[in-house]
Structure 1
């Protein structure tokens, strides 16, 4: 266990360094490539209820994805993290303007406040697709998160409360890809990783 934790920590550090070295232009360029791939993806096209993360500076930008979800009339959900546990809810986002009214957390992520009453995805029919953030990924779908386990525990809840598990797609910079991510049996493998494959 300790060895796995140490391996994950070392890899987190290495990937953070690689992503930090990327220019903003390059982050935007790759985000655009990844977004366009997503917009053609059959699972995205057929999904009605989609969960998407609001991107931080070291993640693929999701503004365009959010805009597209609303343009296509899909139902959009975003995470609300509880900082003192690994609990996360996926709450409905009404439109692009809605984002600007969300409070900023200590992690500099916008999310609905604890007292806000919003539709939670699992309470109203579940999710078809979850777009996953992460620090690192390998091509077989292993994911290196930030160590809090939010998505792993949420996917576990989906498994128990939905008859079909949501399809999971990670959006990644190619700098976030690793030959192999160290995982244990609690780490959820994701269905697919989208990134800019052109060298």
Structure 2
């Protein structure tokens, strides 16, 4: 995974701020990433993910796919306790490729 490099505090100060008041690079700074890791509340072993309900990662991953014209491999990061049989899903939910968790 390639990170956006910040060379000075000025670079950090000029990052756009989201509606949640979080500094992050704009989508024009998205590089071709082979992999994206995503958190979640719960995951299934078939690639379904339950987030916190705002759709932040789903929207971001759709934009990355549009910019790159190819979907990155999406990996969920979880604890064993977060692996469940089912999670509620919506049409806009992005399925992940695999879940990494200690077993």
Aligned ranges for residues 21-40 of structure 1 at < 5 Å? none
> What is the aligned counterpart of 1:172 among 65, 78, 82?
78
Contact kept? 2:16, 2:25, Cα under 8 Å:
no
Higher-helix-fraction structure: 1
- Is 1:137 aligned with 2:43? yes
Q: What pairs up with 1:97-176 in 2 under 5 angstroms?
A: 114=17, 120=26, 122-176=28-82
2:89 aligned residue = 183
TM-score, normalised via structure 2 length: 0.74
Superposed counterparts of 1:2-41, under 5 Å: none
Task: Say if 2:42 and 2:51, in contact at 8 Å, map to a contact too.
Answer: yes
Kindly tell me: are residues 120 and 139 of structure 1, through their superposed partners in 2, closer, same or farther at Cα, counting changes over 3 Å? same
- Which structure's relative contact order is higher, taking Cα pairs within 8 Å and 6+ residues apart? 2
- Gaps of at least 5 residues in structure 2 are 18-22
Aligned residues: 94
- CA offsets 1:43-101 (integer angstroms, 9 cap, x no match): xxxxxxx2xxxxxxxxxxxxxxxxxxxxxxxx22xxxxxxxxxxxxxxx2559xx9xxx
Take 2:30 and 2:81, find their aligned partners in 1: how far apart are those partners?
37
Contact 2:30 2:64 (C-alpha < 8 Å) held by counterparts: no
- Kept in 1, the 8 Å contact 2:58–2:94? The answer is yes
Report the Cα distance in structure 2 between the residues aligned to 1:163 and 1:172, rounded to whole angstroms. Answer: 28
Specify every segment of 5 or more residues in structure 1 that has no aligned partner in the other structure, as ranges. 1-49, 51-74, 77-91, 103-111
Q: Secondary structure at the match of 1:152?
A: helix
CA distance in 2 between counterparts of 1:124 and 1:186 reads 21
